[in-house]
Structure 1
């Protein structure tokens, strides 16, 4: 028997956390700190979960730089404010105004965290005493924007500040000489991008002029200029050669050998000897190639690939960020990518579970507004990328046995990917070219890997044969289409293959869905009835049915026998973008452009559950093989994993019913024994207003009932009192219970101050609702009092008249 689903709950979420700019790694290597607009997000590196956000999400105060020292972080904002936080707790310790005349570009602490240097676009460097909270130095002399700043302590224990600027110069400031002009080190012909100290007296500098220069700070002159043949954005000098023991380098090094790694626009990490000027090691696998212009609308390739780099001694990892807002961790032993953080997803267009054969999917594959397809590990959210498309990937599908991936793109191309064991990654094994417009939809056969079907913006659908696909080829083979059909008058938005692989259906922006015979290559039916374009079509896994979802907010179920509309499901207030059959075709789940998920019972056409899932359009949705997991993706840059909680909810309901029965029996026993205090508390826990009122009446019927009620309520928590206030509002509207309600109000006012009442969750609302009916009761009592007085007056008047009549009758008649 099929158990229908009743609810899905959120299991995990991956959302954008990094919008570019600076990032840092905690000393223990467990946390990643990165900028996200006006916030600093703190991520657990193992799970990629955001554990804390520092700052306020205010678009007027975007983060431009920050500096980290142990538990302290100082953040510079675009509005020229500086804020000091304890990042482990999120506590703001201090806020002050920057004295820079323009934006702060870079900042750093000295070795003991007592001084902070900030370099700005106003060509100056400011020094701040963090411990005593005052501004100590204003360092001038640069003729360009300060890009990098560094503290240096000489052998004479003199503190210096070294800064590099856009004019290619390096400025050396002595903080112990007031007003002195800086020493200028000239050698670079372009922006200085990185400064690193080595052995306390050597300085290594890199620039976009494709050279690295080694400086002697004692003589303040250059020792060696090394042509690296690429623009360098970051470099890291190793403290000792011990870190290199497991790298594939055939030579030995002296203990004081000057070694450094460069991160440049080639996308390769390189190891250099500053002593000999030779490149000793080049990373074997290129991690990042130059980003093509068609992704960003520029005419030239980006010169920058790596932007910043850090080395963490605890984890022995390099961490670097890229121009497309990703952060990558490399193992220093093999220079291999260990972990990749996708900082910003943008619009996420499609998603599927991957490696789902054992009903326990480990991966999801995601298409977002990028030419690279992303595969995420569900436990760690580590990302692998599939590169090959030259424009945004719109859709994807997984073969029935999860051995193949198909992707389609705005580059008019379809690519087939297969897992390569030797490379431990997916590789492109086939390319299908033939469409003349964006390929928006793709679908594998349901029972084999014999073919795929695709739909395009060129209004055609194609079927491609995969029967002769060679999976272990070094080069991807070209697929040829079996046939091409002119399917619609407008672009094809969705395509799906029937579960017997004999038909496929297409949905289009022309408001129709069509069913096609694959063997005979002919049209079987045109399904008309939607008022706007169709976004999704899906075959039922069991019944001869086809479901269509449209921008008119309707879902229609069609018979695939006589092609009549069997039912129309209404409930969405916006476009329905995706639908999936669940529970052996007895249920349907749909996603809308309003961010809602709706679970439908097809027998009754009713909505079982509505879930507020996303803040944007839910473009993609997929279910695991056993339907216990659901994944959704949306335009709000998030991917959410949902878990079927039906059994948990049912079990919780059963346990709740049993608990309520036991508590009700306990209340009855307590009332018999006249233990009203305990009974009243349980009645409130059970949220039973009438039982609560009955118990209060019993208490008031006792001798000194009001005092007993007061003593009882004195022992109640604020939550219980808040709930009692809400009950009193209802009781006060009914004259039958208004007396008890007014007594309770009197008792509550005697044990609670007005401020405490207003601080209750519903305190102000309770007071506002109590006043009108209390005034009515007061007016009613005054009217009754007047009526009682009138009766008393009438009685006395009647009594007076009666006495007068008696006196008159007792008088003797007089005779004249």
Structure 2
């Protein structure tokens, strides 16, 4: 049987808006022989390398579908390893940006990666509780280390021993002998999850951080082989240790003892902790907005600090009239061994502009310490501090923030010439150049729920959460006027078919019609005319308005209400025409086809319904998404339409045959909105992962049967357990049962 209908495939045309993912660490890398200038961050499925001197992207290491969850730079400074949410690990060549190795062994998200000092071994830890050591030269797995009962949080190789140390959420820290592949010691002194660890000062100390206010410091030492026990004593001590902890191996030469604690000033648990490559400086942060730094001093500097401390103590004791013999005894007792407070110096804390999610640090030859921090508001900051200078203060060298929104993007729209995209979030409206995907303008606003271009593409209308409608001169980057259009949320804006005005719908149960007009700007000296809106008519309804659309022929206006129905009225008289009822939960989005014959509605009940505009009959009800449908738009001059939902997926449908054409690679987390370009060539979507994704129509033909077969194979892999992770959907929780009351509560907040 031949093809009865041929579709063209939409393919990914780029991602923008994201500066750094929240669930991935940041790493300093060396490019062009320069250290401390470039950092690599995860940006959903890609790795972006930022030039912190110029504030621009230096490179993009492309991924496929899974999200980057961990990054590690190799010691030879030529490669970078990346762990993904599907459990794979890929090694990239920084010069060619190509993948040189792929390691598959984990069943869920890779949480941490670390190279050994030579770069010959790469260790990966995962949420599946396993640690795998890979041979990067032979490109094969060396061993799988199983023993933890919680997700692995951090790993560290020792420099002078064939030992790997692992921390986990099961509160244990384990030491693994890589020659025999067994655990010879387990630290059980932590009461809560161990979130981070670092090996410091040439394998002399181990620092661990958990859920309390202190960093525990452990002294690592070699067993003295000269003082060997006799067999009977050895057996007795072995039996005694086995009773205490059956994982400890008393015959292993490496020993670990508690040395002390470093008190943190930050609040909350240790979120992340990293040290520089030399193991001299360690930094950590909690749930507040600061990074605390500690420096492990050299032996000479530590002795100088100890002498100063002893001098102060002797002076203090002298004031307390201590006799000479006691002073000499104090000196003899305290000079036997250095204490932890002599060896560790607290550096000034770095105060950040927002909560950090991850950071990395590098120590220069002159004692200059550079710290790069990935913040929770989609921002990168670079700080410098002179560790060798007393009472020095950290200074911010660079902040990368204008290249993306600082909160989730809730609305996107295309310009009439298909060249520009406008996006609105909780704090700003941004204008993007579609071909280059560069941010052209940023206008600071309040919380934006809806956006649309005014005909002519010079101005943008944005509906705010407080009900205001703002007019933005996007060319100048200024807000021309703030109109108190509604008293509650302004959920929806659409243009009238004659392009002379717009229609808004809000939470105050009204739909308002507005007319564009030019008024003289009294503020400017030139008295130039600027765009304004004139309120002409108001349609009052019985419930909150979630979405409004006007048919292309200008006859009808469709209004989606919080009572789960869609009411259709005549535009000229506001006379009631049709009521579309059948959704079990409120309709969040809808669109009318260009020939005004079909209306598609998407609801929180996960269904899309296609209705006829002539009689209001439901042509088809489709179970479309695994969560609420948040966006729908028809392709111009066709009955094809796109939808997005809180399950993160973006899908294309045929409104005539009711077939799903394709499921595009969507978002990690909820997808909030989408827009189709006027020429139908491009689709843009935004989501909770802070990414704005662009799709482009290609020349590749698409066969429905092949797409359905491929999707069926993916579902079978999930059902049989061959695949345990949904690609591109890390930690996605599918919804529990919804009710009308719960949905109303969401939109009444």
**Common fold: TM-score over 0.5:** yes
Task: Check the 8 A contact 1:614/1:634 in 2, yes or no.
Answer: no
> How far apart in 2 are the matches of 1:504 and 1:188?
60
> How far apart in 2 are the matches of 1:48 and 1:372?
34
> How far apart in 1 are the matches of 2:94 and 2:472?
29
Relative to 1, partners in 2 of residues 1:557 and 1:635: Cα closer, same or farther, differing over 3 Å? farther
Task: Check the 8 A contact 2:468/2:486 in 1, yes or no.
Answer: yes
Deviation at 1:176, TM superposition (A): 2.0
**Could you report, residue by residue, the CA deviation over 1:636-686 in whole angstroms, capped at 9, with x for unpaired residues?**
9997755445x7659x9xxxxxxxxxxxxxxxxxxxxxxxxxxxxxxxxxx
The answer on 1:203 being equivalent to 2:254 is: no
What is the 5 A alignment of 1:161-240? 161-164=206-209, 166-177=212-223, 178-179=254-255, 181-184=257-260, 186=262, 188-190=264-266, 194-197=273-276, 202-207=280-285, 212-218=293-299, 219=302, 220-223=342-345, 225-226=347-348, 228=350, 236-240=360-364
Deviation at 1:170, TM superposition (A): 4.7
Q: Which one of the candidate residues 511, 516, 526 is aligned to 1:461?
A: 511
**1:270 maps to which residue?**
383
Deviation at 1:24, TM superposition (A): 1.4
The answer on 1:279 being equivalent to 2:393 is: yes
Scaled by the length of structure 2, what TM-score is found? 0.56
Relative to 1, partners in 2 of residues 1:205 and 1:490: Cα closer, same or farther, differing over 3 Å? closer
The answer on 1:570 being equivalent to 2:619 is: yes
What is the 5 A alignment of 1:319-398? 334-337=398-401, 351-353=412-414, 357=417, 359=418, 361=419, 363=421, 365=423, 394-398=449-453
Deviation at 1:443, TM superposition (A): 1.9
Relative to 1, partners in 2 of residues 1:73 and 1:96: Cα closer, same or farther, differing over 3 Å? same
Deviation at 1:431, TM superposition (A): 3.9
Deviation at 1:611, TM superposition (A): 0.6
**1:107 maps to which residue?**
155
Task: Check the 8 A contact 1:76/1:104 in 2, yes or no.
Answer: yes
Q: Which one of the candidate residues 622, 626, 632 is aligned to 2:679?
A: 626
What is the 5 A alignment of 1:396-435? 396-408=451-463, 410-419=465-474, 430-435=481-486
Relative to 1, partners in 2 of residues 1:143 and 1:570: Cα closer, same or farther, differing over 3 Å? closer
Deviation at 1:265, TM superposition (A): 7.6
What is the 5 A alignment of 1:115-134? 115-120=163-168, 125-130=173-178, 133-134=181-182
> How far apart in 1 are the matches of 2:434 and 2:78?
21
Q: Which one of the candidate residues 42, 67, 71 is aligned to 1:24?
A: 71
**2:196 maps to which residue?**
148
Task: Check the 8 A contact 2:405/2:690 in 1, yes or no.
Answer: no
The answer on 1:260 being equivalent to 2:370 is: yes
**Could you report, residue by residue, the CA deviation over 1:711-735 in whole angstroms, capped at 9, with x for unpaired residues?**
xxxxxxxxxxxxxxxxxxxxxxxxx
Task: Check the 8 A contact 1:164/1:171 in 2, yes or no.
Answer: no
Task: Check the 8 A contact 2:131/2:145 in 1, yes or no.
Answer: yes
> How far apart in 2 are the matches of 1:217 and 1:549?
70
Deviation at 1:11, TM superposition (A): 0.8
Relative to 1, partners in 2 of residues 1:217 and 1:34: Cα closer, same or farther, differing over 3 Å? same
Q: Which one of the candidate residues 115, 124, 132 is aligned to 1:75?
A: 124
Deviation at 1:117, TM superposition (A): 2.0
**Could you report, residue by residue, the CA deviation over 1:292-350 in whole angstroms, capped at 9, with x for unpaired residues?**
xxxxxxxxxxxxxxxxxxxxxxxxxxxxxxxxxxxxxxxxxx543596699x98xx975
Q: Which one of the candidate residues 614, 635, 641 is aligned to 1:589?
A: 641
> How far apart in 2 are the matches of 1:446 and 1:256?
66
The answer on 1:12 being equivalent to 2:122 is: no
The answer on 1:494 being equivalent to 2:547 is: yes
**Could you report, residue by residue, the CA deviation over 1:129-158 in whole angstroms, capped at 9, with x for unpaired residues?**
44653445545766775443223454xxx6
> How far apart in 2 are the matches of 1:215 and 1:336?
31
Task: Check the 8 A contact 1:351/1:633 in 2, yes or no.
Answer: yes
Relative to 1, partners in 2 of residues 1:37 and 1:596: Cα closer, same or farther, differing over 3 Å? closer
Relative to 1, partners in 2 of residues 1:111 and 1:486: Cα closer, same or farther, differing over 3 Å? farther
> How far apart in 1 are the matches of 2:374 and 2:644?
43
Deviation at 1:442, TM superposition (A): 1.0
Task: Check the 8 A contact 1:590/1:597 in 2, yes or no.
Answer: yes
Relative to 1, partners in 2 of residues 1:181 and 1:26: Cα closer, same or farther, differing over 3 Å? closer
Relative to 1, partners in 2 of residues 1:203 and 1:270: Cα closer, same or farther, differing over 3 Å? closer
What is the 5 A alignment of 1:37-56? none
**1:302 maps to which residue?**
none
Q: Greater share of helix residues, 1 or 2?
A: 1
RMSD of the TM alignment (CA)? Answer: 5.7
Task: Check the 8 A contact 1:441/1:454 in 2, yes or no.
Answer: yes
Scaled by the length of structure 1, what TM-score is found? 0.52
**Could you report, residue by residue, the CA deviation over 1:245-264 in whole angstroms, capped at 9, with x for unpaired residues?**
xxxxxxxxxx6243333649
Q: Secondary structure at the match of 2:257?
A: coil
Task: Check the 8 A contact 1:210/1:227 in 2, yes or no.
Answer: yes
> How far apart in 1 are the matches of 2:191 and 2:591?
65
Q: Greater share of strand residues, 1 or 2?
A: 2
Deviation at 1:452, TM superposition (A): 3.8
Task: Check the 8 A contact 1:108/1:149 in 2, yes or no.
Answer: yes
> How far apart in 1 are the matches of 2:207 and 2:674?
53
Aligned residues: 541
> How far apart in 2 are the matches of 1:48 and 1:389?
38
Note the residue ranges of structure 1 that are not aligned, 5 or more in a row: 241-254, 284-333, 559-564, 601-605, 653-816
Q: Secondary structure at the match of 1:613?
A: strand
Deviation at 1:216, TM superposition (A): 1.4
> How far apart in 1 are the matches of 2:112 and 2:634?
49
What is the 5 A alignment of 1:374-773? 394-408=449-463, 410-419=465-474, 430-444=481-495, 451-464=501-514, 467-468=518-519, 482-483=535-536, 485-496=538-549, 506-508=559-561, 509-517=564-572, 522-523=573-574, 526-528=577-579, 545=596, 547-550=598-601, 555-556=610-611, 558=613, 565=614, 570-574=619-623, 585=637, 587=639, 589=641, 591=643, 597-600=652-655, 606-607=656-657, 610-613=660-663, 620-631=673-684, 643-644=696-697, 649=701
Note the residue ranges of structure 2 that are not aligned, 5 or more in a row: 26-69, 224-253, 303-341, 525-529, 704-749
> How far apart in 1 are the matches of 2:115 and 2:520?
53
Task: Check the 8 A contact 1:119/1:148 in 2, yes or no.
Answer: yes
Q: Secondary structure at the match of 2:657?
A: strand
Deviation at 1:595, TM superposition (A): 7.2
Task: Check the 8 A contact 2:458/2:475 in 1, yes or no.
Answer: no
> How far apart in 2 are the matches of 1:633 and 1:434?
26
